[in-house]
Structures are given as C-alpha cells and as structure tokens.
Amino acid sequence: MSSTLQSQKGVTRRGFLAGVSAGSLVLMAKVSSGQDVAVADAAKADVESFNPDLFVSIAPDGTVSILAHRSEMGTGIRTSLPRVVADELEADWDRVKIVQAIGDKRLGDQNTDGSNSIRFFFDRMRVAGATARTMLERAAAQKWGVSAQECSADNHRVVHSGSDRTIEFGQLVSIARTLDVPPADQLKMKSPSKYRYIGKDTPITDMDDILTGKAIYGIDARMDNQLFAVIARPPVVGGTVKSFDATRAKKIPGVVDVVEIPKFTGAPVFQPLGGVAVCATSTWAAWQGRDALEIEWDEGSNASYDTDEFAKTLAESANKPGKTVRNHGDAPQRIADSSKVHKADYSVPHLSHAPMETPCAVADVKTEGDKVVACTVTAATQNPQAVQQAVGPAMGIKNEDVIVNVTLLGTGFGRKSKPDYCVEAAMLSRKMGRPVHVTWTREDDIHHDYFHTISHVHLEAAVDDAGMPTAWLGRAAYPTIGSTFNPLANEPAAFEVEMGLSDCPYDIPNLRVEVGQAQAHTRIGWLRSVAHIQQNFAVSSFADELASHAGRDPYEYLIELLGDDREIDLKATGLSNRGASAKDYPYDIGRLKAVTHRVAEMADWKRGKTLPKGRGLGIACCRAFLGYTGHVVEVEISKDGKLRIPKIWVCLDAGLIVSPDRVRAQVEGAAIMATTQARFGKISFKNGRVVQSNYDDYSMVTMSNAPREIIIDVVDSKAAPAGVGETTVPSLAPALCNAIFAATGKRIRDLPLSDHDLSWA
C-alpha cells in the first residue's frame, strides 16, 4: 500500500501531493463526510488542475481547493486558515472549496491543540496563497507577452496594468501548471492594508451543514457493513479482565459478537484501557449487550485511589521544600527573616473534558491471514497523525499506511488528541473482519477520561511596610501529564509549571518556584489551558489576597505588582515560551498591563467600591499561550448564597487576528467553560473508581446560570499571532473568586464553588 493523502475529485498529485512519488494513489473523500471514501488513479486526474503548493489546487473551471489540515472542533480553524490562503491568492471566497486533509506528516503539525494553529501556519498559508498567485500572474504575463510586473491578481482574475485586459484564474491553469514554482524569496506578500479576508468576518464554512443537521461528526461516520461497538472498560486504570460471561449479552437481539480488548502495556499513552467489547448491528443493541456482560476484574494497583486522601498527600508535598525550577535572589531566606509573611494554599480537583460529542471512531481493517494489509480510520480526532502513530504499531503496519479521515469534532478540549478510541475501533475491526464503529457512552467518557490533574499550590510572600512583596515562593504538587507516557514521572514537568507559576509576571526581587512529588493513579491529560487552570487560579488569587492584606485596591495593587513595562528575560528565567522566539513573542509586561488597564476601564472598576454587600467586582490577568488577557467579573450573591454572574469583561491581546468574530466566540466560550469548572468542576475517585458518571453529577453551566453578558475588547495589533482558544480561560476563575471575596469577604482557595457556602449576613 502506498502512502496517501486525501484530496478531492479532479485534484491531482502535483501540488496537493507535491513530493509524492509517481504512481501513488490519491485517496478521494468528501469534505467533512468521512464516508464515500474511494481510491482513484492520480495520473488520470493530473491532466487538468494547477497545484502549485501542497495546500492549494485550482481547477480549469476556476474552483480553488484549499486543504484544511487542522481539525475543526469549534474554533473556526477550518475556515480561518483557508481564508489566509485565499487572501494571499486573491481568490473569490465564493469559489473556494475547503477539503479536509487526512493525517499526513508532510503537511506539518496537525495536532490541533495548544492554541497553535494560526501561530504555526499563518505564514505558511500566506506562502501557499502567494505562490499560486505569483504563478498565475506569470502565466498571464506569458499569455499576453508582457512583463509579470504589470500583472496583478485581483479577486479571482489577473489584471494587466498597461491595458484593460483581465483573465480569469481558471483560464490560466493550463499555462500556470507548466511554470516553475517560485522560491519563497521571489514571493511578494500582500500589504496588510490590502487584506480582503484576514481580519474580516465570514460565516464558518460548515454553517449550513450544522444548521440543517447534515454536518458529520465522528459519531455519525459510517462505513459499509459496519458494526457498532460499546465497550466495558476496567473501572480502575491498569485493571484487567479476570473472567467474563457473555451468555446474557449474546442473547440481546442485534448483538453479533463479544470481544476482549487487551490492556495497554507499560505506560497508558494512547493505547486502550482494555476490557470487553460488544459488537452489534446498532449502538443501542451494543449498549444493552455491554450492560448485560458479567465481568470479574482484576483491579490492579490503583484500586485504592481516593482523591480525598490523595489531596492530603498533595498538600504535604506542596508544603515542604521541593525541586527548584525558577530562582532569583533568595526567597526562602528573605521569607524566614521577614516579620510580615502571608501564606495561602489553593487546590483544584480532577476535571473531565466531557466533550459534547463523546469519543467516537470507525475503523476498517483488512487482513490477509494474520497480517493487516489495509487500515482506514474515520474519527473525530484533534490529531490524525497521533492516530497513525497509535494505530500503526497496534496493527503491525507502518504509521503512514494508516489512512485517517477527520470528521468534524463535537468539541475536543484536548480529549480528542488522545486516540485510544481509534485503536479500540481498529482492534475490533481486525477481529470482526468488517468495519466497527466505537461509541463511548457519556458514562464511559466521564469514567475513563484522561483527566485534568488534581493539584495543590502553596504560595508565600514576605511583604514590606507598604504591603508589596519582597520575596515570593510558589510550590506546586500534582500528578504530571508525563505520567501518561512514563510511569516513573512523578512531579510537575517544566512545561506544566511554566503555565502560570514559573512564568510569574510580578516584579519581585526574590522569587523561587518549586515542584513537589506526586504519583499519578489515573490517566492524566491536558485540558483546555492545562496547568494554567490551577496555577493562575492560585497566583491571581494570592495577588488579590496580598492587596487585601495591604488594604489596597486590587486593581491598583496588581498593576504595581506587575512593575515597570519591560520584557521578561526568557533565558535568565529559564522559560521555554512554548518554543517561540523572544523576538516574535516577547514576554511583554507592558502588554499585560495594557489589557489589565483596559479591562478595568471597560468595567468601570471604581464602581466596585460603591456596590452594596453581596455584589462585587474581581480582577485578574495572565499571559497564556503567548496571548494576554485581563478579566473583570461582576457577581451578585444573595444572602442565602446563590451566585449570579451578570457581567464579565474581557480584554484580549492575541496579536494579529484572522477571524475577529470567531475570536470573540472563543473568548465567550472560554469564559463559560471556565465558569463551569470554577462553579462545578470536580471529579473524585473512591476505590480507584470515578464517582461521577454523567452531566447530572458532573454539572455544566447552562443558560440560566451562565454569565449573562460577556463584553469583549480585542486589541487591534500587528504583533505576531498568539494563541486564542486557551488564552482567556485561566484568569476567569481567579477574577470570579476575587469578586466573591469583594462581595462577601469569603476567600475561595479550593475549587469548585459548589463545595462552598457563599451565604452572608
């Protein structure tokens, strides 16, 4: 089987498939459908289209096809990146077709995670568009016998400046395909003032399909002759099937077979938890069959995991000296010598992603004897290359021979970049000899997630007579994401600590950040904004506490704490800056202060002082995923403790913005997701098992208790594009809790709020 890359009918090997050896097959699939997959002869299709770049193809009828290689889970990225290509290409958006790419490492990073898509690919997409445009301009010049300098693309045609001549893109395809692809240094990029689509709004490309129920998600993906599977997984991570009786399950009408799935070996990584699968002719029959299984489990070493008990060991770990990850001056000594020291401990429980669409995938594995000869997976995945890397070894085939079609995702939040469910589908299809679709029930999803970690953060500060800190010590203890990949990993990793703790923006002469040990007893994963969730909650709450101790206004105190406008020295502080350069992405305290000033102004911060008891404003700011956010939250708390959030103000500086309305939507959604987590987010374990199981006991904010109004200002910036999706999550929870303090005098150090009595007299 040769390597493949999805394209669509009429699109050829050259361009979309640049670099693919002759004779390769082109996989053809409908955009965002994941069905009707067929293999076509590339040579045949190669006759017509112009394919100047891996991401662009232009057909003789003028249709511009643009490959979307990142996953659409609600950010609008399937629209935004193609818009960048179309803009540089001077294409008419109405004549652009978006083609969802399969997993293929030649496309670059496809892990739609870490708020990276625009940052990683803005320039790359511009090159794709400019390459095509330049070649079309040269083709027109050749056709007219004029200088290419006199030809310029304009809205899907090329115009000659020396005459009135114009020509449609489609009519240039036959000449353009014969030209050499210009090197990047010959490309002239559009001036930002000429941007047609970048910075302008348009409906997302899937809008009509979504509104009419035609949009295809992983749960909707279908292959001919497929079975539906529901799986009983070990209730404790690391557990195995001791024995099972499928007699009753097999009597359920529609049940075809019952199959055991082996547990992962070594670290969990993205391999299945194991268990027993029921394959049936419908989801419901499989589900009924699964519930009728009688299974005896060998629970393994995590069967005593109890988060109430574990929280105590985390608190101990965070309250004794740990491993230093950032240090300047001598904070511990200064604190020991100081007569005025404040200390506080903060905790956040495990959280579950609970994506609206549970993990779902369908796989078709073909075998000859014991050998797998073909494998296609269609899934709601944030990372089709990770699917290849997980399914390939499980099937004993090369990663690039796993064909991965990507559907729309009913949210992801990081859960769907971990493709254990795709491996389950492949294993079952191999066993059953026909396609198998795996659906996780909501209970499966809540019980068997890669959980956001459980954490404890300890903070101390020595303060001067004015109440400003002269020394600051932060120490975090939580099971690390690294434990999912290496069972020996037992303390927070540098990349995690950098999310809100070791990247502390405050200007304090003595500062130390340490980590304490913590062993994982479940699968730990990354969830939208990751360790920022617990660390910015602690740090921004503590700043508010220090302001209160000093008798100062929290906003004015915060600004003073941030210090002078300056760039944090990344090298000296040992910060990785998410791999981004200090030149393109400086850690700019001036920008952080600017969003904080702006949000205070938007909220009319001074008004907070005049509010009656039970009402209050809270403020927090942070730099996350290279972008800057300021939040002000207003709360109303009734005497009996009922919390209402009438208004939230957000100022975001994420550098250059491609799709303003989608950015605002992300900011709104982040505020609401962060509100859900702060109010209700708590996954607990007893006897190694997750206690919660569905939305009734793992609650979500809904219309009636969501923030009523979210007022957003996005900074107009020419700076390099930063992250958005996760950037505005972290400062919401501390701003909310700071508002609760302002309203009631109650300081919340342990989330969620639903564990607290907010009543006041």
**Under the rule (CB under 8 A), what is the footprint of another protein?**
72-76, 201, 203-204, 206-208, 210-217, 219-220, 228, 253-254, 282-284, 354-358, 408-411, 413, 439, 441-443, 661-662, 665-666, 668-673, 694-696, 700-704, 706-710
- Which of these, 537, 449, 535, 542, lies nearest to 493 by C-alpha position? 535
H and E: helices and strands count for the chain: 19, 30
Residue 27's contacts (CB-CB under 8 Å, 6 or more residues apart) are 4, 5, 6, 7, 37, 38, 39, 40, 102, 403
Residue 470's contacts (CB-CB under 8 Å, 6 or more residues apart) are 334, 338, 462, 463, 464, 508, 509, 510
Which residues make beta-bridge pairs with 157?
A: 154, 168
Structure tokens of 350? 């495990």
Contact criterion met (CB below 8 Å) for 729 and 500: no
In the complex with another protein, which residue's Cβ is closer, 72 or 545? 72
Contact criterion met (CB below 8 Å) for 740 and 616: yes
Question: Residue 43: exposed, middle, or buried by beta-carbon count in 10 A (0-12, 13-18, 19+)?
Answer: middle
Contact criterion met (CB below 8 Å) for 620 and 540: yes
- Which of these, 44, 50, 36, lies nearest to 6 by C-alpha position? 36
In the complex with another protein, which residue's Cβ is closer, 260 or 668? 668
Q: Which amino acid is at 635?
A: V
Is it true that the peptide bond before 752 is cis, omega within 30 degrees of 0?
yes
Contact criterion met (CB below 8 Å) for 527 and 564: no
In the complex with another protein, which residue's Cβ is closer, 75 or 536? 75
Structure tokens of 493? 């990793």
Q: How many CA atoms lie within 13 A of 15 on its CB side?
A: 33
Give strand ranges (E) for 394-477. 402-406, 436-439, 455-463, 469-477
Q: How far is the CB of 532 from another protein (least distance, A)?
A: 17
Residue 25's contacts (CB-CB under 8 Å, 6 or more residues apart) are 2, 4, 39, 40, 41, 42
- Which of these, 681, 220, 588, lies nearest to 439 by C-alpha position? 220
Helix crossing, 554-562 with 589-602: angle to 10°? 170
Query: What is the CA 340 to chain-centroid distance, rounded?
Result: 41
Share in percent of the chain as helix, strand, coil (round to 5): 30, 25, 45
Structure tokens of 484? 């999912």
DSSP for 263-274 reads: PP-SS-TTS---
Q: What b-and-e string marks burial along 349-375, b requiring 16 or more CB atoms within 10 Å of the CB?
A: bbbbbbbebbbbbbbbbbeeeeebeeb
DSSP for 44-113 reads: HHTTT-EEEETTEEE-TT-PEEEEE-S--SSS-HHHHHHHHHHHHHT--GGGEEEEE----GGG------
Query: What is the CA 285 to chain-centroid distance, rounded?
Result: 33
Residue 324's contacts (CB-CB under 8 Å, 6 or more residues apart) are 512, 513, 514
Question: Any idea which residue has 């959030």 for tokens?
Answer: 645
Question: Any idea which residue has 């590339």 for tokens?
Answer: 42
Give the whole-angstrom CA distance, residue 119 versus residue 717: 14
* H or E stretch at 533: helix 532-550
Question: Any idea which residue has 């996350």 for tokens?
Answer: 624
Q: How far is the CB of 555 from another protein (least distance, A)?
A: 25
Q: Can you list the pairs that 253-260 forms with residues at least 24 positions away whose Cβ atoms lie under 8 Å? A: 253/285, 254/280, 254/281, 254/282, 254/284, 254/285, 254/286, 254/289, 255/279, 255/280, 255/285, 255/286, 255/288, 255/289, 256/227, 256/280, 256/281, 256/432, 257/432, 258/289, 258/293, 259/428, 259/431, 259/432
Structure tokens of 271? 């391999």
Q: With H, G, I as helix, E, B as strand and everything else as coil, classify residue 359.
A: coil
